[in-house]
Chain A
Amino acid sequence: MGPDRKGGAVRTVRVRGFATARAALGDRLWELPAAPDGVRIDRLLARLAARCPRLAPLLPTCRIFVNDEPARSLETRVRPGDEITLHPPYSGG
Chain B
Amino acid sequence: MLHRLSSRPLSLARAYRALESESAGAIVVFVGRVRPDATGHGKVVALDYEADRNPALGSFREIDRAAFRRYPGVRMLLWHRTGRVPVGQIAVIVGAAASHRSAAFGAARFAIERLKVQSPIWKSDRVRSARPPRPRRSRPAAPGGG
A18 to B49, CA, bound (A): 11
Cβ-neighbour of A90 out of B32, B112, B116 (below 8 A): B116
A88 to B80, CA, bound (A): 19
B5 and chain A: residue at smallest CB distance = A92
- B141 interface hit (Cβ, 8 Å): no
Number of interface residues of A (CB under 8 A): 14
User: B52 touching A92 by the CB < 8 A rule?
Assistant: no
Interface residues of A in 37-82 (CB under 8 A from B): 63, 65, 68-70
A65 and chain B: residue at smallest CB distance = B55
User: B55 touching A92 by the CB < 8 A rule?
Assistant: no
Q: Provide the residues of chain B in CB contact with A70, threshold 8 Å.
A: 55
Interface residues of A in 11-37 (CB under 8 A from B): 18-19
Q: Provide the residues of chain B in CB contact with A68, threshold 8 Å.
A: 52, 54-55, 58
- 29 chain-A/chain-B pairs, Cβ below 8 angstroms: A18-B50, A18-B52, A19-B50, A19-B124, A63-B120, A65-B55, A68-B52, A69-B55, A85-B55, A87-B120, A88-B122, A90-B119, A90-B120, A90-B122, A91-B116, A91-B122, A91-B123, A92-B49, A92-B80, A92-B92, A92-B115, A92-B120, A92-B121, A92-B122, A92-B123, A93-B32, A93-B92, A93-B116, A93-B121
B interface residues (Cβ-Cβ under 8 A, vs A): 32, 49-52, 54-56, 58, 80, 91-92, 112, 115-124
